[in-house]
Structure 1
Amino acid sequence: MRILIGTDTYPPTVNGAAQFTRRLAHGLAARGHQIHLACPSPTGAPGRMIDEAGVVVHRFRSFRYAGYQDFPVALPAGLRATAGQLLDDAGPDAVHVQSGFFLGRALLVEARRRGIGIVATNHLMPANVLDHLPCPQALRPAMATALWRDLRRVYLQADAVTSPTRRAVDLMYANTGIDGLAVSNGIDLDRYRRIPRVMSGGPVVLFVGRLDPEKHLEDAITAMALLPDDVPGRLEIVGAGSARAGWERLAGDLDLDPDRVRFLGKLPDDELLEAYGRASVFAMPGTAELQSLVTLEAMATGMPVVAADAMALPHLVHDGENGFLYRPGDATALAGRLATLLGDAGLRHRMAEEGRRIVAPHGIEHTLDTFEGLYRQVRRLTPLSSRTTGRQPAGRVADRQASDRPSRPAAMAELIAMPPAVSAR
């Protein structure tokens, strides 16, 4: 099939949605599909290139938003016309958008006009957006509602809608009335299972991710300051972002030894894998995780996880089985959980093995199988004649009343029996 993937965030931008989209595109290309990918340009200038996996990457003209310099945004002026021209030139069998922002919205609307089957995946949590807007705390609930309503307007035009976990699907339904299918973002399990476990110099607590406010690393840093002196271990923080300077100041204010908390910055892939390999425990204090690819990676590597009891993290971290959950913001509780694990190598090993069992259904091959099935279904729902005359959305996820959850559309119902690329619990 010829698939056009549209995303408002793509490497070199670092976040889970960007990483997932690249893995999806490369995985589909490896299966013999013709993949076109549309994304904002990291330089601002438009361009076209074929990457190492054979994916045709179309970079759209972009600008940098002052509140989030690490995130290039597709320039709205003329965007729909450019998106429409790309659709006409590429002639995809299906379009898969990863967001309802400027570029994803333009591709979705223009694909609908042309009668092309559409799959839409939601990676959005309002906190991901609002933390980078000059929005007073008192207005955040209203702004979050507005963001969900906007997503509803856009995604109601799709033939099928997905999100990475059952919790994410339920959240989307509660806020938009749109049902969906839980499809794990998936990871290359073998890549992380093969990482050598080389632990020396004492146990390591690892965090990997964007250093942005919704990750709440203040919990982990404060927890390290609360650990008893006789508990060994250091915190290694991998990533870059807008909140790094503030968290470095916090570590200094808490008089933490530089060896107790290390900010390593953004690492190349080989060094990132080494960081996973030397870590004993993974910490994820974020409260806006619709799945958390890095948590999946840590589990596959063989680490217990201590995570905030928030959003989709409890789907991966089963308290007392493959790690521990703690109440967000309770650094004392986090410190206690870390102390338990740092002081008990046997417990770490048992929890790590259970984590590997839990992460097993999240292999990228299951994810690719499921999306291939969706593309075939939405393609079948698109008669050739409608590709020139336009059509009403056929088989899309229907609007629902909260008290009356209808059956899934045909495009999604036929996939329920497929390999379970879904949340673990």
Structure 2
Amino acid sequence: MVDSEGMTLTCAPLAHEDDSVDMSWTSWRILIAADTFPPDVNGAARFTRDHAVRLSRRGHQVHVVAPATKFSTSSGIEKYDGEKIYVHRFRSVPWPLHDWLRFAPPWEVSGQMKRLLSAVRPDVIHIQSFMVIGRGAALEGHARGVPVIATNHVMPENLIEYSGFPKAIHPAISRFGWRLAASTYEGVQVITSPTPIAAEYLESRAGISPVEPVSCGIDVGRFTAKTRKPTDARVMYLGRLDREKNIATLIRAFALLAEKMDAHLDIVGSGSEKDVLETLADECGIVNRVTFHGRVSDEELELLHHRAAVFVMPSPAELQSLASLEAMASGTPIVVADEMALPHLLTDGVEGYLSPTCDVNCFADRISRLLALDNETYMRFSGAARAKALTHDSAQIIRRYEGLYERAIGAMNAKQNV
């Protein structure tokens, strides 16, 4: 158990419930350091959870360190998708201007990280951001000669609007954020980001190189491919309901086609903009054609994907968009903003369509095109979407990360033996 005074922790290997796990290769003790983790709902938290589960299923002993949901520090075993994961939660405080963001007090992290690494003795550390816990883990790992790899899910620009500072100094805050990223990632053995464009963006903004593009991956087998075009004209969005997601553009675009196409919009997720978006739907006269589902279970989500004829991601701030990939794994054609990493998900006119980020008319046109397709043409889009999703299957991605861990461990061993 971990507390603010010290740490006593037993790290015996966890028994696997699946006897089919192949233990024939080297297994490692891996510490994943994250500044967001469930119950947070966002792409970085989702990847960290899924990655921990996948590593555990491959026979590795996985520890996750992340902010607690309250102002107390604890350690214990948490179960995700049937896997038991060691989770160490540093006490944290909520950021008052954000729906879920919490920070562990930076002045406490160094001491807590020292105690945690002494207890866990990881073979490799995998940080998920350059912020408080990720940075603390990297610095302590460097001090102990533990290999560190980093996956970047964060753009300072996405957080600045919640800072509470005047817009006039936002550029200065952004520059500080990227300098912090550069200093955190300096000295790590491997740096990754989910897509080529996200990797290029990190290289240019933080001045670090090379950054390797490695998809976050999805469990394609969880999703059932469509066998024919859905009967109903249902359009779906899945993600946080926050300002940077640009959902207002989707609602305005949907209002242009809703009655003509006899369509319905399913908005799945929660966030700070929910009330604003509900009001906008009412003002657009489509309140009876829009359902705000909030958070849903995995079973409900799979059903919504099965019913959806089109999936839309209007956000200009995506480093990958697991939500879009999961829709594609369900055989749902997508319409996405032609910005940041989203263009890497599709070839325009093959798996779906691109649209200029804030072009309401273009979004409406592209959604309408897909809704109007005959079954044969629709299924060509559907099959192409599913095929693209298969290239991001987690079975491939987890082996890629194991190769990166092996490379990082080898590089550190070579350095220490010089």
Q: Tell me the TM-score normalised to structure 2 length.
A: 0.88
SS of residue matched to 1:4:
strand
| Residue identity matched to 1:8 | D
Aligned to 1:33: 60
The aligned amino acid for 1:183 is V
Cα contact 1:224–1:260 (8 A) shared by 2: no
Q: Which residue of 2 aligns with 1:421?
A: none
Report if the CA contact (8 A) 1:238-1:265 is conserved: yes
Find the residue that maps to 1:328 and give its secondary structure.
coil
State which drifts further: 344-353 or 370-379.
Answer: 344-353
| Contact map agreement 2:226 2:332 (CA 8 A) in 1 | no
Alignment partner of 1:305 out of 297, 311, 334:
334
Q: 1:195 to 1:39 in 2, by over 3 A?
A: farther
Counterpart of 2:176, as a letter, is A
Higher relative contact order (CA 8 A, sep 6+): 1
Q: Distance in 1 between matches of 2:374 and 2:337?
A: 22
Q: Which runs of 5+ in 1 are unaligned?
A: 395-425
Q: Distance in 1 between matches of 2:296 and 2:288?
A: 18
Q: Which runs of 5+ in 2 are unaligned?
A: 1-27
Q: Which amino acid aligns with 2:236?
A: L
Q: Which residue in 2 is equivalent to 1:343?
A: 372
- Cα distance in structure 1, aligned partners of 2:363 and 2:248: 11
Name the CA shift for 1:332/1:199 in 2 (closer, same or farther; >3 Å). Answer: same
Q: 1:38 & 1:198 partners in 2: Cα distance?
A: 43
Matched-pair contact (CA < 8 Å) for 1:207–1:237: yes
Residue pairs, 1:118-197, within 5 angstroms: 118-178=148-208, 179-193=210-224
CA offsets 1:344-400 (integer angstroms, 9 cap, x no match): 2433322111111112210111111111111111112223995xxxx9xx9xxxxxx
**Counterpart position of 2:4:** none
Could you tell me which residue of structure 2 aligns to residue 17 of structure 1? 44
Q: Structure 2 CA distance, aligned partners of 1:373 and 1:383?
A: 15
1:262 has 2:291 as partner: yes
- Could you tell me which residue of structure 1 aligns to residue 237 of structure 2? 207
Structure 2 residue matching 1:229: 3-state secondary structure: helix
**Contact 1:131 1:213 (C-alpha < 8 Å) held by counterparts:** no
2:15 maps to none
The offset of 1:196, in angstroms, is: 8.8
**Which stretch of the first structure deviates more once superposed, 89-98 or 245-254?**
245-254
**C-alpha deviation, 1:262, in angstroms:** 1.3
Q: Percent identity?
A: 38
Q: What is the Cα deviation at residue 111 of structure 1?
A: 0.5
Q: Secondary structure at the match of 1:35?
A: strand
Matched, 1:6 2:37: no
Cα distance in 1 between the residues matched to 2:306 and 2:121 = 44
1:163 Cα shift? 0.3
Q: Deviations over 1:180-219 (max 9, x none)?
A: 111000000111136898945x211000001111110011
Of stretches 348-357 and 69-78 in structure 1, the one that deviates more from structure 2 is 69-78
TM-score (norm. length: structure 1): 0.87
Supply the AA of the counterpart residue of 1:109: L
Alpha-carbon separation, structure 1, partners of 2:84 and 2:225: 26
State the alpha-carbon separation in 1 of the partners of residues 350 and 275 from structure 2. 35
C-alpha contact 2:99 2:271 (8 A) present in aligned 1? no
* Separation in structure 1 between the aligned mates of residue 240 and residue 205 of structure 2, nearest angstrom: 26
Q: How does 1:398-417 map to 2 (within 5 A)?
A: none
CA distance in 1, matches of 2:393, 2:299: 21
State the 1:135 CA deviation.
3.8
